[in-house]
Structure formats: C-alpha cells, structure tokens
Structure 1
Amino acid sequence: MTATATSPDSRNRLTRLFPWRSRVTPATLRTDLIAGLLGAVLVLPQGVAFATLAGLPPQYGIYTAVIPCIVAALFGSSWHVMSGPTNANSLALFAMLSPVAFAGSPAYIALALAVTMLVGVLQLAVGALRLGSLANFISPSVLLGFTCGAATLIGLYALKDLFGLAVPTGTSAFGVVRFLFDNFQTVNGSAVIVGAVTLAVTLVSRRFSRRLPFMLIGLLAGYGVALVLNTSGWAGAQHVNVVGPIPSAIPPFGVPDINWRTVPDLLGIAAALTIVALGQSISIAKAVALRSGQHIDANREFIGQGLSNIAGGLFSSYISCGSLNRSMPNFEAGAQTPLASVFSALLLVVLVTVSAPLLAQIPMAAIAAMLMLVAWGLFDFARLHRIARLSRTEFAIAVGTFIATLAIRLEMAVLLGTILSLVAYLYRTSRPAVRSLVPDADDPGRRFTPLDELRRPQPECPQLKLLRMEGAIYFGAVQYVTDRLHWLRTVNANQKHLLAMTKSMNFIDLAGAEMWEAELVERRATGGGLYFHRPRTQVLETWEQTGFMEKLGRDHIFPTKRQALHTIIATLSPEICAQCHVRIFEECAHRPGGAQAPMPEAPETQDTPETRDTPDTTRAA
C-alpha cells in the first residue's frame, strides 16, 4: 500500500520535524496570535532603528523580521524565542563591512546579504556536526548574570523614549543615563504621561487577570493617550514621538549580486559574525527556557538559526538571531508554541500593508514602557539572593557576567562568564578531597568516618593511615594531592602504610598514575606499603596501561575493607603493636599485646538496619 500524507510514518516524520505540534490547540492558537501581534508591533521601530545601525536602508530591518523569524521558529528548538534584527548584530555587521564598501550603497547591501548567507551556512554546519554541546558550558549562574545584565540594558536604552529625549544615535546605555541627567530640563512630559499610563494599565490588567492580553491592552491605552495629546494640542510644544512612516514589509527575493570569487575573503567576517549571532541566540534561548522550563536542543537551535539566515539572505534580510527584546515579551504575553513567531511575521506584513498610517502613530514612549516592564521582570532578585546564600563563587560568576554584559558586547560577556565558570570548576576539581578515616567509636556499626565529621576527637592507628580519595586525580590535581600525601607522611612518620579508599576516585590520567607510583616508591623506601580499596574500572585500566599495576602487585588491591585490614595489619610492626593502646580495629586483638589492651567500646545502642554492617563497613571488636 502506498503511504499517504496522513499515514503513521508521515505523522511521525512531521512530529520529529515539528515536535511542538502536539501542543497546538484552539486555546494556544489564540494566545499565540495575541503574542504575535505584540511582537509585530514591538519590532516595527526596532527593525527600522537596527537597520540604520547596520548601515542599511530602513526597510531591511523590517524584512529581517519576516522570513528569518518564521524559519528560525519552525526549525529551531525554542517555543518562545523570536528571531530578527538585533543591535549587536547590526553594529558588528557595520563594523566589519564599512571598511569594505560604502554603507547603504548597492555594493554594501549585496555584501551584507552574501555574508548573511555565509553565516547561515556556518551556523547550519555547527548544528549538523552536533557541536551544540558546547552550549552546555554556559552555566545557570552565567545565564542569570547575562539575563540581569541584558534586562538592565533594555531598561536603560528604553529611558530615551520613555522621557522623550533626543539622544544622539549610537549612544551607549550609560550614555543615555548621563544624557538624561545632563539634559533633564528637556524631558518630554507628554512622553512620561504616555509611558506612565501604559505601565499602569498593563499592571492593572495583569493583576485583574493574567489571561488577558495585558501587554497589548497597555500598549493600546498608551496609543490612545498619545493620540489625544498630539491631536488636541493639550501637550503644547511637547509632541509625543511616534514610530513614523513604515516602509513595505514584503521582502523581495533575489540572489545577492556580488563577485563570488570574493567569498573566501568574506569567510573571516562571516566566522566572526557567526560567533556573535550564535552566542546571542543560545544565551537568549537558554535564558527564556530557564523561565519557561522548556528543554533546549542546542544543535536544533543552531540548525534553525542557520536555515533562517540562509533563507534571509535570499529574501533581502541581513543577519538575524534571537532577540531578547521580543522573546521575553513573547513569553510574558503567553506564547505557547513557535506559531507566535510565525504570526508575528505574518501580522507584521499585514499591518504594514493595510494600516501603515495607523501604525505610524504608535508612541515610542508606550513601547519603552513595555520594555521597562519586561526588564523589571527579567531581573531575578530572588534567584540572585538564593545563589548568594548557597555559593559565593557562583554569585561572583553571576555578578561578573552581569558587569561584563553592561560593559562589553553581549556574546563576549557570555564567553567571559563561561570562562569564569570553567576556571572555578577547574579550581574545585584541582583540590579533590583527601580525608583521613577512622572507625567511629560512637557509632554502633563502627563505620569508617572522616576525622572532621566525628563528634569528638578519636585516635588513628599509629602505623596504618586510612584515606578516602574523592574526585578525579588528573594533571591539574596531582600537585595538590602530592602535597597532601607528603604532609601526611611528614606529620606521622610511623604511619608507613597507607590504605586508600578509592571507590570515589572517579578518574585518573597518566599524571595521576605517575603520582601514585611516586607514592609507592616513597612508602616502600621507608619500609611501608601502599594499598587500595575498590578502585574503579577506569582507574584499573589506566594502571594496567601505564605499568603501575605490575609494580604495585594485584595483592595490594582489595574488594572489601575487612579483607584489606586483615591482610595489612598482619604486616605491621609487632613491637609497635605490643605497646599500642589504640586498638581501633577488631584485627588488633590478634596482634601482640592484644589480650592485655582493652578495645575501645562503643556505647550500648540497639542495632538497627541503618547501623548494621554492610560489605563496605568494618566493625571493631
């Protein structure tokens, strides 16, 4: 039988291609449509402004919010990320192409579209080669710092339109604040009124019912107030700035008209822009997912971004990626599936085509108020406080990323935060726990317990040192462990024998194996020995490959503590045992002087399942 479009195989293929299909219901379509309408309205001024930053005609910013937005949503991983033009991409593109061609010229536009397609090819290759796992090194603390920093930037940049300031193009976020203080007398009171009304109506609507499209309601309220102020003359000379004339939103199709021999020369530019775009996209996707609880497939996200830029280059769009300014409002507005992004793009075309004169009157102050509200919601004070209480290191990483996000480019801030996380991780793993153990006399089961966890000081065996090794013994940790072992040999020279409990030593490399070989030589040179309890398979294999196993001897590796102690204690010095009154092991009863020296007694406590012996514990007599 020939498979049809509705066959199980076809449905399975569609599900794999669009895994969010099962979430689509009439209710989600309604919320996605409302969120899409908000996204379309928000991108109008942004698209025009960002295209100008990129050195392109204004309509290219609108084009970039159409085809790339649809393709990235359908083939990406995130349900809420909206792709389109961003300020970072725009500035990076202008910085890299302006030395090659005059900004705004036909040659410049053709180069911008060609570089966009090359960026898409590189992004697609990253996803297809499954290199998205690199995104796993962006820790939650880095994401928190990045999100809070990006929220701060969104809020600071929004001040310009919220107060109706004529800030020069290209002014930094803190430059906007400085301009506000230096030119406070020029604040547009009408813009402040529009922004305040927009915020108030939005907050009241959200408090009344979160099911309402509260952000759209607030935007409409600001629109109405601005219309009244601008047409009635009540505002006097303080006119409320509006979006203004909007160019056509229908992106024309065409292959970039360039000399394709120059493609190799453009690859360097494309590679740099790929890092910028992917850094932003995955950071924003993970930041939104942190709030929505969605699992992000980094490889699929990169594939979606790659396809969107390849298609975008053919439809007069320049480099796009996830936009935090639209993604967070999209999530807050109740978007449930990627169809919200599709609706946003389609509604943008319809709105610009049908009602361009009305849309031209959208007040910039109302849009700024929306962005201020989103920025406040992004700043997660509770999570920052929780991280500060749990880990000073993670808190420092979050704060460092936050400061970097404010001071340098977004993708470089994420990279810096990731480097800080990796340095902190390497520092922690370079200091694995090396803990001295004794059978706890206060425990009915006489369990082996680290000295620092005992309720009272207890003695160790004068000849045998018990250590628990926790973590990986790799090249970065060798010096620390070597120093600890040397210090232990120095503190008690009579403890010539060492039994290492290594079931928690989860990894070892060549440097680690050489470290244990050096320890073996040191121990045997003083007449002692080195023994191991339950090393892992990987550790044993490494010892076999390096020859350490042959030097150590298989009889120095034990599956149980009881067997290890029974063997090792028999080799201890009888003279020292005869004078010993510690006797912390039951095997000590069979050593010289064992009959006269009383064993330390544990308090009489009823044996329970929690305190009974297991194969991994040893009970003293």
Structure 2
Amino acid sequence: MSSSMSVNPLWLFKVFPFLRWWPMVNGTATRADLLAGLTGAIIVLPQGVAFATIAGLPPEYGLYTAMVPAIIAALFGSSWHLVSGPTTAISIVVFGALSPFAEPGSAHYITLALTLTLLTGLFQFTMGIARLGTVVNFISHTVVIGFTAGAAILIASSQIKNFFGLSLPRGATFAQTMWAFFQQFDHINLHVMSVGLVTLLTGILVKRYTPRIPYMIAAMLVGSIYALILNQSLGDAVTGIRLLGALPSHLPPLSLPELDPHALSQIAPSALAVAMLGLTEAVSIARAVAVRAEQRIDGNQEFVGQGLSNMVGSFFSAYASSGSFNRSGLNYEAGARTPLAAVFASLFLGIILLLVAPLAAYLPIASMAAILFLVAYGLIDFHHIFAIIKASKRETAVLLVTFFSTLLVELEFAIYLGVLLSLIFYLMRTSRPNVISVVPDPRASHRPLVHAPDLPYCPQVQMLRIDGSLFFGAVNHVEQRLLELEQEHPQQKIIIINGRSINFLDIAGGEALVQEAKRRRRQGGDLYLYGIKPAVMEILQRGGFLEEIGPDHVFETRDEVIRHVFSVLDRDICMGCQQRIFHECKALPSPGGKPS
C-alpha cells in the first residue's frame, strides 16, 4: 500500500479509542465481562431508581441514564473499568439547578433536565477537544469531599418527609426543611416510619453481615413485604403508606432537549458546574481504579467520552451522568477485563427493566427514603474528613466552606466557591517559593549545598536556592526575602543563586533579577546565576534580561561560578577569614601566615 493510502494509527486511536483495547477481547475476557456486566446491572437497578428520585425525575429516568450513556462512555473513554451512569452528586445538582424553573417530575422539568444534559455534554466534549484534561487537577479532592458530604445531608433532609410520612414544602432550603420537620414532629405517621425503619435496618444488617447479597435489593424486598402486610391487615387508608407505582416496561424512548435560547441561557451556568463536577468524578474514579489495574488514563479522552455520553444520552431520555465509584469498583472486583463489561451491564439492565418494571408498583416510597438515607451516609468520607482536619488548616477551610455552601446556597455556586478557594490557596503556595540560604557541607566528600545555619559561611558571598517559579505572583515575596537575608548578613554583598529549582520565569521575574543585580552592584556587590534551565534561559535571552545581568554572570555549574566569584573577592577579607568553606580557599595562607 502506498504511503498516500496509509492510515495513521494514532489518528484512528484518537477517533475510535476502543481500537486500543479491542485486541484484548477473547473468549476468556468476554466471559469475565459478561459476569461483571450482569453483576453491575443488578446493582444499578435500585441505585438508578434512587438517584432519579434525588434528581426530581421519574424513577425510570435513572435506569435510562445507566443504559445509553454508559455504552458511549465505555467505547469512547480511556478507562477499562470506569462505569458511567447516574450519580448522587450529579443528581442533587440537577435538582438544585432545575427546581426553581419547573415543578420536579413535570414534563417541562424533564425537558429542562435533558437540555441541561446536552449542554453539559457540549461543555465536556469541547474541553476534551481543546485538550483541557488537566483542568480537573485544579479541583482539589477536598472540594469534592466537602461537596459530597454536604450533598449527603441535603439528600437525607429531602427524604425526611417520605421517611416519616409528613407533608413538608417541596423545594425548601435545608434550614427551612429542618424547621418545618421540627414543627410537625408530632404529626409523624408511625406506620410509614416503621416501613422506613424496617428497610433501613435490613439494609444495614445485610450490608454488614452478608456483603455478597446486594443490600439495596434485599432492603427493598423486605420493606415491600412488610408494607404489603400492613396495608392488607389495616388498609392503606389507615396506614397512609404510599407506593412508588409500576415503572414503564420499555427501553429508553427517544427524546428532544429544548433548544430555546432563553432556556439555554438560564441553565448554562448550572450546566458548566455539572460538567466540571462530572469530569472531576469520572477522571478521579478512572485514575483510582487504573492504579489497581496498572493502566494509564488519558484525561482528555475521558473528557471526550463523558461529553459524548451526555450529548447522545440527552436524546435517549437520560439526564446528566458521570463515572460511578461504586459500580466502577465493583466492575473491577467482579473481574471485568475490558469496557465491554459496561456495555453488557447496560444491555442486561434493559432486559431486567422489561421483566421487573411492574414489580416497582409494590415498592413503598418510605423504603426508597430509607435506601437514600443509606446512600447519603455512604457518601460522607469520614476517614478523609478527619485526615484533612488533622493535616492542614487551609484544606480544612476549603472543606468547611464547600460543605456549608452546599447546605446554604445554590449547589453550583458551592462548587465554584470551593474551586475558587482551592485556586486561591494554590496560588498562595506557588507565590511564596522558598528562598533559603545554603552552604557547602564539609561533612560530605562532594560537599553538597545544604541549609544548615550551624555550618560556617563565607563572609562575602551568600549562596541562595529558590524553590519555585519566579513569576509576577511570586516576585514580591522573593524580593522581600532577598532583602531580609541581606539585612541578616549585610557584609555578604555578593549573591549566587542556584537556578535549578526555578521551573518558570516570566517578564516580572526577569525584571526582578535585573533590579537585584543593579542594586547589589550599587552597594559594591554583584549577582551571579548558575544551573539555569533552558526554558528559563530562553526568557532571559529573548527579554534582554541576560544582557543586563551580564552573560559572564551566568554559569552552568556550581564549581564554575564559585571559581569565578572567588577570583573577584576582597583578598584582605579572605586572608583574615577562618571559615574557608570553598575548595579554592585552601590555596590561601592561614590567618597566621601558614598554609591553610
């Protein structure tokens, strides 16, 4: 085949990423993927119903979201084990974003949810094409933990009325919901509450003592049977136990998002927040599972896969989806070999939906509330919360701000606030690089430069190391630190700066070095650099800073710069010096006139 007719395999892998893992598919892998897929389909059945309830959508939409989007994300992502679908965090944001514009569960609300999903996918896909996969690195894990913990409290508070059989205002804030609950405490329906408690206790016991049995399904079955007994013995008019109702026994129907400009402008900010949260979830989960599977994840490809899954899913009655930690971890533990396991899980779920949809008519809403209580509790990562509180005051501040913002303000704003605070602390850290004084260590044969105030130092030369980038945000801190070091040792008029740790330098950083060199020279000293990285050297040359500092003041190694500086030192001071920290000092006679 001629070169003009050949196809670049790298281009094919980017457009069709499933070609990378397709050679792994064989009889053994397919059998393992089929078993893992069946397990995943059973697990997602109660979760999908629960998550759709959180999102304010009819229960079947949670199952629709676990079908087509999961297939698209599996085929066009980079992870072998990531399983996409409805998640708690995304569901609670969808509810918070759309409930002000439409009645949850209404036809208009469903249309807005599909539109939100389409916009979310467009944002994610665009970011993937623009290769912005590293953006999620700026959303700290602390933000996700704080937001998820706050979302868990919101989920639990939203189900109080269903668990206790109360009539609380829908769409109320967390504080309003809790106040209304305490006001109606004496109106609790004991029959409804007993159904919730039976379901809750069953779920806890099954999860603890028989972890191989899906605890959600077991809890739902026991709660449904108990409610059926109560209703038959006392009558549903007496018990007041409401049932979920039968699910539609058909596959996801085609749907059309609303493309009205006014609706798009209303929900665009929320769609961006959902996109960022979804990408953070998906990439974080994919990386966590990939460590165990010894696989490398392409963040940009995950962006593309998640974007396509939401864009396509919006036309198949799916609301916004992302990677699920529970189902992804289970997928790996169940022995999945390739992303076909997620595809099989979606297909099995469709079959299960057709078979068991009518049985949902016997599921008490109080049991669903109990299941959501269990889900909410599982969302709170107590281990990492306590670790953050012990380890860092700044991270604790990010955690608390995100957590309370999630409870008290709009959810998308809580995400933005947590991200903004993380970025501020990140910039604070990068804008304060370490500027430390170092000296040769006489205790080691190669005399490395170390920070040790107890070691002798040269009375004329101060050697410094800057650990961090020298850019506009760090210039003020570095200049202040250089001034403090000069005031501590005013006789050290010459400074030698080790540039090996300076990864980046901008115009402001170059100007700061030039100004320091000029100031030192006015005082009878000088400034020298060594170990400058090529990228930093290029900025110094192109900006004209190297010419002002002096090309003969920049060296490649420590030994070269020390030899040069030693030749320009004041010999009278050297002759009376007893420190003799450089090798070159040994050639001088000792202060008493004898060779040192």
TM-score by length of 2: 0.81
* Deviation sequence 1:138-174 (CA, Å, 0-9, x none): 1222222223223333333333333333322213344
1:449 corresponds in structure 2 to 450
- Given that 2:206 and 2:213 are in contact with CA atoms closer than 8 Å, whether structure 1 keeps it comes out as yes
- Given that 2:50 and 2:59 are in contact with CA atoms closer than 8 Å, whether structure 1 keeps it comes out as no
Q: Aligned with 1:507: secondary structure?
A: coil
1:602 corresponds in structure 2 to none
The 5 A counterparts of 1:538-617 are 538-591=535-588, 593-594=590-591, 596=593
CA distance in 2 between counterparts of 1:153 and 1:343 reads 33
* Alpha-carbon distance change, 309 to 381 in structure 1, aligned in 2, over 3 angstroms: closer
CA distance in 1 between counterparts of 2:51 and 2:534 reads 57
* Deviation sequence 1:438-491 (CA, Å, 0-9, x none): 23455566442213xx5xx34422211111121111111111111122233333
1:320 corresponds in structure 2 to 320
2:97 corresponds in structure 1 to 92
* Deviation sequence 1:9-52 (CA, Å, 0-9, x none): 99x97444879968955455345334423433343465467456
- Given that 2:44 and 2:66 are in contact with CA atoms closer than 8 Å, whether structure 1 keeps it comes out as no
Q: Give the letter aligned to residue 439 of structure 1.
A: P
Q: Out of 496, 499, 511, which is 2:508 matched to?
A: 511
1:402 corresponds in structure 2 to 403
- Given that 1:142 and 1:414 are in contact with CA atoms closer than 8 Å, whether structure 2 keeps it comes out as yes
The 5 A counterparts of 1:73-88 are 74-76=75-77, 79-83=82-86, 86-88=91-93
* Alpha-carbon distance change, 145 to 598 in structure 1, aligned in 2, over 3 angstroms: farther
Q: Aligned with 2:462: secondary structure?
A: strand
- Given that 1:156 and 1:174 are in contact with CA atoms closer than 8 Å, whether structure 2 keeps it comes out as no
For the pair shown, the structure with the greater C-alpha radius of gyration is: 1
* Alpha-carbon distance change, 19 to 215 in structure 1, aligned in 2, over 3 angstroms: farther
CA distance in 1 between counterparts of 2:61 and 2:556 reads 70
CA distance in 2 between counterparts of 1:320 and 1:280 reads 11
Range with greater deviation from structure 2 (235-244 or 413-422): 235-244
Count of equivalent residues: 570
Range with greater deviation from structure 2 (12-21 or 367-376): 12-21
Q: CA deviation at 1:131?
A: 3.0
The 5 A counterparts of 1:425-436 are 425-436=426-437
CA distance in 2 between counterparts of 1:24 and 1:241 reads 45
Q: CA deviation at 1:322?
A: 3.3
1:41 maps onto 2:43 in alignment: no
* Alpha-carbon distance change, 160 to 137 in structure 1, aligned in 2, over 3 angstroms: same
Q: Out of 459, 467, 471, which is 2:468 matched to?
A: 471
CA distance in 2 between counterparts of 1:440 and 1:162 reads 69
* Alpha-carbon distance change, 186 to 235 in structure 1, aligned in 2, over 3 angstroms: farther
2:201 corresponds in structure 1 to 200
CA distance in 1 between counterparts of 2:191 and 2:344 reads 32
Range with greater deviation from structure 2 (507-516 or 359-368): 359-368
Q: Aligned with 1:473: secondary structure?
A: coil
* Deviation sequence 1:66-90 (CA, Å, 0-9, x none): 5445545554557233138835335
* Alpha-carbon distance change, 339 to 570 in structure 1, aligned in 2, over 3 angstroms: closer
- Given that 1:40 and 1:344 are in contact with CA atoms closer than 8 Å, whether structure 2 keeps it comes out as no
Gap regions ≥5 residues in structure 2: 2-11
* Alpha-carbon distance change, 387 to 13 in structure 1, aligned in 2, over 3 angstroms: closer
CA distance in 1 between counterparts of 2:166 and 2:328 reads 27
CA distance in 2 between counterparts of 1:420 and 1:92 reads 22
Q: Aligned with 1:191: secondary structure?
A: helix
Range with greater deviation from structure 2 (121-130 or 560-569): 121-130
Q: CA deviation at 1:589?
A: 3.6
2:133 corresponds in structure 1 to 132
* Identity across the alignment (%): 36
Q: Out of 263, 277, 282, which is 1:280 matched to?
A: 277
Q: CA deviation at 1:59?
A: 7.5
Q: CA deviation at 1:502?
A: 1.8
Gap regions ≥5 residues in structure 1: 2-8, 600-621
CA distance in 2 between counterparts of 1:480 and 1:218 reads 59
The 5 A counterparts of 1:474-553 are 474-553=471-550
Range with greater deviation from structure 2 (391-400 or 27-36): 27-36
TM-score by length of 1: 0.78
* Alpha-carbon distance change, 223 to 417 in structure 1, aligned in 2, over 3 angstroms: same
* Alpha-carbon distance change, 141 to 429 in structure 1, aligned in 2, over 3 angstroms: same
Q: Give the letter aligned to residue 472 of structure 2.
A: F
RMSD: 4.0
Q: Aligned with 2:437: secondary structure?
A: strand
The 5 A counterparts of 1:306-317 are 306-315=307-316, 317=317
- Given that 2:243 and 2:364 are in contact with CA atoms closer than 8 Å, whether structure 1 keeps it comes out as yes
* Alpha-carbon distance change, 300 to 362 in structure 1, aligned in 2, over 3 angstroms: farther
Q: Aligned with 2:229: secondary structure?
A: helix
CA distance in 2 between counterparts of 1:239 and 1:383 reads 41
CA distance in 2 between counterparts of 1:193 and 1:549 reads 79
Q: Aligned with 1:79: secondary structure?
A: coil
* Deviation sequence 1:321-341 (CA, Å, 0-9, x none): 3387xx647856977766777
